[in-house]
Homo-oligomer: A and B are copies of this chain.
Amino acid sequence: MKPEKILNISVDCVVFGYDTTTKSLNVLMIKRYLKDKQKILVNDYVLTGYHVYTHEKLDDTATRVLKELTGLTDQYKKQFKVFGDPNRLSNEKDLIWIKNEEFNLRTITVAYYFLLKTEDVDLSKNTNDAEWFPVNELPQVGFDHEKIIMEAYDDLKEKCLSEPIIFELLPDKFTINEVQDLYQSILGIEIDNRNFRRKLINKKYIIALDEKQIGVSKKPAQLYMFSKDIYDKVFQKNYLITI
């Protein structure tokens, strides 16, 4: 028996994938294409999403959507906002598209973002024409998904400063410069390498491994890992008022 869809509630997923080698923060999107005789009616990209099932938690919908798209489970996930403007799907192309789908015109969507490594996703098996786009170079985007992506990105920019989520975007073993590059990509700023390095290395939960990079054509860098356990023990909230 197939689970029953709730026709006016969906989940949309902004999948952020960081590519350590190109230093690019990417968003995973799927192609939306519709042709009528000669004319291309719709040809753009949207986020991946799906209806919530009647007996399903919202978090589980998001997890299911990610799994279908990437095969991955257990990635960092955050529900960050609901989009429910009555006119959010009223663009011409969106209306054409919705005609072919079992979709209520007044659908509200619960938006999640995921953090993972681009390299962990094998797009070749994907049936949806999924593609990575740098978050700052998005293609033509359908529905209100550009807005959703930008709000997810804003939340990520803010959260990465105060929570250790940066490591969700990096491989288990990373170099200090990789962390710095990632911060710079996300925030669009330059960071002083010496200050950054000192700051990170002094954290107890950033652990130097007995390993260096291999296969690089330059001085191989020291590898580190992040220990969530130590972080949870060591971290203490401060109540610094910074208004």
In the assembled complex, the CB of A84 is this many whole angstroms from the nearest CB of chain B, namely 4
> Would B84 and A54 count as touching, CB distance under 8 A?
no
The interface bits of chain A over 35-57 (1 if a CB of B lies within 8 angstroms of the residue's CB, else 0) are 00000000000000000101111
Which chain B residues border A58 with CB–CB below 8 Å? 82, 84-85, 108
A30 at the interface (CB under 8 A from B): no
A108 near B9 with CB under 8 A, answer: yes
Q: How many chain copies does the complex carry?
A: 2
Establish whether residues A239 and B84, one from each chain, have CB atoms under 8 Å apart when the complex forms: no
Q: A8-B8, A106-B54 are known contacts. Are A239 and B187 too (CB-CB below 8 A)?
A: yes
Name A199-243 residues within 8 Å CB distance of B: 199, 203, 238-243
Q: With A and B bound together, what is the CA distance between A110 and B79 in angstroms?
A: 12
Residue among A52, A55, A241 facing the most chain B CB atoms (10 A cut-off): A241
A184 to B200, CA, bound (A): 32
A81 within 8 A of B: yes
Contact A57–B85 (Cβ < 8 Å): yes
Residues from chain B with a CB closer than 8 A to the CB of A163 are 243
- Determine which of B52, B84, B162, B242 lies in contact with A84 in the assembled complex, contact meaning CB atoms within 8 Å: B52
Within 8 A of B (CB), among A75-103: 79, 81-82, 84-86
